[in-house]
């Protein structure tokens, strides 16, 4: 169910922002970068162990 809702939300976001360069603004880009950095750090730690 969660996957379906995520797919619908992604489809709606894509449809609304079809001609825009990106869906991120300044604040969203920074927060997204922090989250991605944490994910990669956790993956690297898991791979090292």
Please compute the mean of the pLDDT values over residues 27-48 and round it to a whole number. 91
pLDDT for residue 14: 86
pLDDT for residue 31: 85
Q: What is the pTM of this model?
A: 0.50
Which H or E run includes 27?
helix 26-48
pLDDT for residue 12: 92
Cα pseudo-dihedral 10, 16, 25, 1, rounded to 10: -20
11-34 pLDDT, tens digit each:
998 888 777 777 677 778 888 889
| % pLDDT > 90, the chain | 49
Domain positions in the chain are 25-49
């Amino acid at each position: 169910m969660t996957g379906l809702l995520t797919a619908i939300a992604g489809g709606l976001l894509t449809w609304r922002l079809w001609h825009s360069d990106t869906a991120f603004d300044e604040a969203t880009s920074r927060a997204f970068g922090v989250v991605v950095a944490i994910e990669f750090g956790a993956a690297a730690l898991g791979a090292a162990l």
